[in-house]
Structure 1
Amino acid sequence: MPDEKPSNESWKHEPPYKIQPAGEFGHVYWRGRCQCGRVEYWLNMEKPLDAKFCHCRGCQVLHGAPFQWAAIFQKSAMTFRTSFDSLNFYNSAEKLRQHKPPCKVSCAHCHSPIMDEGRNTVLLFPEAIDFGHGAGQGKGHEREVRERRGLFAPSCHIFYSQRVIDIDDGKPKWSGMNDESERI
């Protein structure tokens, strides 16, 4: 049954789904949210473990764009500020609409992609993170936003063999996963 609920729901009490008070979670470096604001999360790491541009066909279809920008964090570095009831889950390998990692996580209301969840890590989409954006706040503020966003700078391109546009940015380009495939 494709939409059957899993019997083990311990994940609801583990990071990133376990809602933690600020004192328990630690210093909040970043706040992210979906388009409608019903899903909010915090990150307690200043920078991701890595960040990449992914050109795989799945990311192209999911995001409706030529590639996606993903930042990788340990699950324990993230906590949702809202209940998991505000989330939709999709395991694309098995075509299941349930929480079964690896899975895609989105807002149940506005359908904004939030992350791809793996067994130990999450791939967040930095576009949802508040880097301090705001129009008309001056050049100093714009520079600060660029510096903050720079902490999430991608190290490489993955699945570049499936690209729909060429990107001439000097970053390493891999035909599949980085360090596991041919470098293009």
Structure 2
Amino acid sequence: MAGNPDIIQQDFLQRSPYHAADPAAFDKKLQGACHCGRVKYWLSKDQPLNAKFCHCRGCQVMHGAPFQWAAIFHKEDMMFEKGAEDLLRTLPDAHHGRGRNMVLLFPTLIKFAGQKERDLFNPKSHIFYSQRVVDIPDGKPKWAGLDGEGKSTLLEEHAT
């Protein structure tokens, strides 16, 4: 999208998840934050629509780990408490999902009250498993690319 970056940023800050339609009525169930606390957000749901382990090369590089754990929510189920402006300013490609209605977040950034809450975020499958650097014999479905609906091939699990 071409245009003035400041105007584009202000437009995004008026939409979910950067701004709730009615912040006072937003049901704050779970809180998340970056490691330093500069960015904080709330979730209005107890559990994600889906949770997965992603083994794509991009996640490996970004996280410095063999895979990452991701949870998916509707944008309307998330509201930033602070730091949204900093997030948009420091991540110039943060708008790549402009037209999408979903947000992907990392459950390790959520403050869970206990194991019961955390268990609601258990991954259901592995995606981009064909790019894995380590085998994970956990019995969960392993997709070569993005999972399901004819988008990818289900791989067999091999123990190492």
2:120 to 130, 151, 158: 151
What percent identity do the matched residue pairs reach?
Answer: 49
**Counterpart residue number, 2:12:** 11
Give the TM-score, by structure 2 length.
0.84
Aligned equivalents of 2:128, 2:50: Cα separation in 1 = 16
Aligned equivalents of 1:181, 1:6: Cα separation in 2 = 38
Matched, 1:101 2:96: yes
Q: CA deviation at 1:84?
A: 2.1
State the AA in 2 paired with 1:159.
Answer: F
**Counterpart residue number, 2:72:** 72
Other structure's SS at 2:19 match:
coil
After the TM superposition, which parts of structure 1 deviate over 4 Å for at least 4 consecutive aligned residues?
A: 19-22
For the aligned residue pairs, the C-alpha RMSD in angstroms reads 2.2
Q: Deviations over 1:91-137 (max 9, x none)?
A: xxxxxx254222xxxxxxxxxxxxxx7711111100000013xxxxx
**Counterpart residue number, 1:135:** none
Give the TM-score, by structure 1 length.
0.74
Q: CA deviation at 1:86?
A: 2.1
1:171 to 140, 149, 155: 140
CA distance change for structure 1 residues 118 and 47 in 2, over 3 Å: closer, same or farther? farther
Q: CA deviation at 1:41?
A: 0.3
Aligned equivalents of 1:128, 1:157: Cα separation in 2 = 20
Contact 2:34 2:40 in 1 (8 A): yes
Contact 1:19 1:82 in 2 (8 A): no
Gaps of 5+ in 2: 156-160
Q: Which protein is richer in helix relative to its size?
A: 2
Contact 2:38 2:83 in 1 (8 A): no
| Matched positions, count | 149
Aligned equivalents of 1:6, 1:42: Cα separation in 2 = 25
Contact 1:32 1:40 in 2 (8 A): yes
Other structure's SS at 1:168 match:
coil
**Counterpart residue number, 1:129:** 110
CA distance change for structure 1 residues 33 and 21 in 2, over 3 Å: closer, same or farther? farther
